[in-house]
Amino acid sequence: MSRWQYFLRRILLSIPVVLFGTTVTFMIIRLGPLDPAAAILGPTGDPAAYDRIREQLGLTQPLWQQYFDFLFQLFTFDLGNSWVIGPGRTAYELILIHAPRTIWLGFWSVLIALFVGIPLGFYAGLNPNTFSDYTASFGGIVWRAMPNFWLAIIFVSVLSQSEDLLFGFEWSSWLVQTNVVTPPSLAFMSEPLALLTNPGDTWPQLIGAIKQIAPAAIVLGSSSMGNEMRIGRTAVLETINSNYVETARAKGVSNRTIVWKHVFRNALIPLVPIITGEAFLLIGGSVLVETVFAINGLGWLFFQAAIQGDLPLVGSLMFIFILILVGTNILQDFLYTIIDPRVGYDQS
């Protein structure tokens, strides 16, 4: 099987998954207790206006017709207009407004998980049964065990009272003035070259945006960081005691070469599904984290649209989330073939 045949097969197999996910989304919103017309009208509306809104939204049509219209619009990327959150505004417009904040949060969350969790796991695996190993392992278990919503609330509480709880250290005024609970300012993204041409104005904005997103990124990346640390440690221990490593030692290969050429590369193989699976954690966890920290990204937008029955917006966001998850699964299989040449397209 050629590379293109393999990827075409994976794409075709992903279509039923996307279809199932969008169908479940439609059923939850339309068959659940939420009423978009009531959310638009409010508690003081009259019945005539209520019926008129339902007819305008197409909610009086047969359910099967609503379902097929819903699927047709999504699969043709006609996401439609928001019903409740932003009446008259397209779903594309609302997504483009809120997406940069979620991307900014996800970028730093993944970065923290990768550059803290994996090095700690590899270090613990190379130094087993030492104080450093026990400390890193205990820390990974603790971080993995703490729920995101609980950790987020603790962070908000501590940082809001940092001057009293952290021995006079005031988080809000450290480096640059920011609030603990507020959307990050990403104005510097509109002109990224200004970081070089006008650093005096744009660098404080960049530092403020990093500081603003740091607590939420630590919370969101903590679960992945703990997983990567624990699995990385186990993978290194299994790899370092394997036969080919012992053979390399017997041939006089230096420890540095063994670690970098043999141990690390093979220890990355079991980490691939963990790293690519972070897309699911970031999507699911960002709903809670963005709500607690008032990031107002796609997670917050999805939460607001779901509780108010904004079917076009919920469907559009779920469609995008499903495409991201399916895409990361395909990327995961591709990375397997790069990291481990023994994995071929015929076996995948």
CATH of the domain at 156: 1.10.3720.10
pLDDT at 3 (0 to 100)? 63
Q: Is 346 inside a domain boundary? A: no
For 86-108, how does the pLDDT look when each residue is reduced to its tens digit (9 = 90+)? Answer: 887 888 889 888 888 888 888 88
Q: Is 20 inside a domain boundary? A: no
For 106-150, how does the pLDDT look when each residue is reduced to its tens digit (9 = 90+)? Answer: 888 888 888 888 888 888 888 888 888 888 888 878 877 788 788
Q: Is 272 inside a domain boundary? A: yes
pLDDT at 284 (0 to 100)? 62
Q: How many CA atoms lie within 13 A of 12 on its CB side?
A: 6
Q: Is 158 inside a domain boundary? A: yes
Provide the residue range defining the domain that includes 109: 91-339
Q: Is 279 inside a domain boundary? A: yes
pLDDT at 348 (0 to 100)? 46
pLDDT at 283 (0 to 100)? 65
Q: Is 50 inside a domain boundary? A: no
Domain count, the chain: 1
* Nearest alpha-carbon partner for 311 in 23, 87, 25: 25
Tokens (6 digits) for 97: 């407004």
pLDDT at 252 (0 to 100)? 83
| pTM given for the model | 0.79
The list of the chain residues with pLDDT below 50 reads 347-348
CB atoms within 10 A of CB 44: 5
Q: Is 31 inside a domain boundary? A: no
Q: Is 270 inside a domain boundary? A: yes
